[in-house]
Amino acid sequence: MDDCLVVGGGVIGLSLAYELSGRALQVHVVDQGLVGREASWAGAGILPPARVRPDIGPWDWLRARSHELYPDWSQALLDATGIDNGYRRCGGIYLARSRGEAAALAGLAAHFHQHQIAFQRLDPPQLAACEPALAPLMAAGELKAVYFAADEAQLRNPRHLRALATACRQRGVRFSEGVQVRGVRRNSDRLVAVDTDAGPLTAANFAITGGAWTARLLRMLKIPSGILPIRGQMVLFRCPVRPLRRIINEGARYLVARDDGLVLAGSSEEQAGFDKSTTPDVLNDLEQMARDLVPALRQAPIQQSWAGLRPGSIDGMPYIGRIGSLENAFVAAGHFRSGLHLAPATALVTSDLICRQPTEIDLTPFWPTRG
């Protein structure tokens, strides 16, 4: 019998399988589609700055611990699989083109400074040196405030997901793709099996990491949750050379340039159910934002566009913990826009729960029974 059946093969599920298999557990991952192909694949791979400190709360700890783990994880995955996930500490520019956005950035600066995270306000010469592509906007007086987060990083999420899946297979993790969960079997306070298209699957422990589809799985266990799909759309430009040194953040939107000249422009936040189609108005808005900010993108062709479904939650917090009274069933989902960023620390604490070990933080704020 497997030690753990992981239901859902996105970045949270793959990271959990990677961590558990590293602890010598036998793991089986089942996914209704292909592993690593939903929201985890569709994002831009931004890793915002964070720092571990003794007095931070559970949410900030997840961010900071993950940020701390990513360099080592990336190197370990490269060593094991030969796949470079594109982890780069490139830094991030945060800009405002209105007074309201400038006020919001001032609040973010106060938060970062409180947590001892470097976040420097830039004057025109400093911006020109840090990110020359934005210097024309500053010179034209279009930028009300600009900050630089030196510790912001990025990775290429499709490569990272491929590296995780490859490393898991090397460690003996089994994968069942294109398999839909249809029901569950329980005996008192234990989950016994999940019924699937491929028949019943048993394990000593079960972990639900179903992303935007997690609520459906929890309903089978009579557990309500506030997880819902939030659509995000993306535009991909192709440039002959990389036009940006840094990640560019403007409110909830961003530009991320890869080493090969690809530039991602995102993203939207839409309640559209499980509809993953793109819409002309949102794509046009993202295209206009990108071309307005970066002159080099004004002639760049659009190579592709797509949408993904992020697992949002009612209170903005992920669900991490044991499921109700079941002693061998756990959930890790609802990370919204931060699934990639929070995956290593989420895998760490969820593995501790599954292995009946103390967790590094109090998980009460993330407990699934909060509704």
pLDDT tens for the 371 residues of the chain, in order: 999 999 999 999 999 999 999 999 999 999 999 998 887 888 999 999 998 777 788 999 999 999 999 999 999 999 999 999 999 999 999 999 999 999 999 999 999 998 899 999 999 999 999 999 999 999 899 999 999 999 999 999 999 999 999 999 999 999 999 999 999 999 989 999 999 999 999 999 999 999 999 999 999 998 888 899 999 999 999 999 999 999 999 999 999 999 999 999 999 999 999 999 999 999 999 999 999 999 999 999 999 999 999 999 988 899 999 999 999 999 999 999 999 999 999 999 999 999 999 999 999 999 988 75
Domain range annotation of the chain = 2-84+156-227+314-370, 92-151+229-311
DSSP character string of 151-180: T-EE--HHHHHHHHHHHHHHTT-EEEES--
Distance CA 320, CA 346 (A): 8
- Contact of 162 with 34, CB cutoff 8 Å: no
Q: Which two tokens stand for residue 147?
A: 């900050």
pTM listed for this prediction: 0.96
Strands 228-238 and 120-121, bridge-based pairing: unpaired
What CATH number has the domain spanning 2-84+156-227+314-370?
A: 3.50.50.60
Is residue 38 within 8 Å of 182, Cβ to Cβ?
A: no
Cβ atoms of residues 274 and 229 within 8 Å: yes
- Is 39:339 a contact under the CB 8 Å cutoff? yes
- φ, ψ dihedrals at 16, nearest 5°: -65, -45
At the fourth CATH level, which superfamily is domain 92-151+229-311?
Answer: D-Amino Acid Oxidase, subunit A, domain 2 (3.30.9.10)
Nearest residue to 264 via CA among 241, 286, 292, 295: 286
Are 102 and 144 a contacting pair, CB within 8 Å?
A: yes
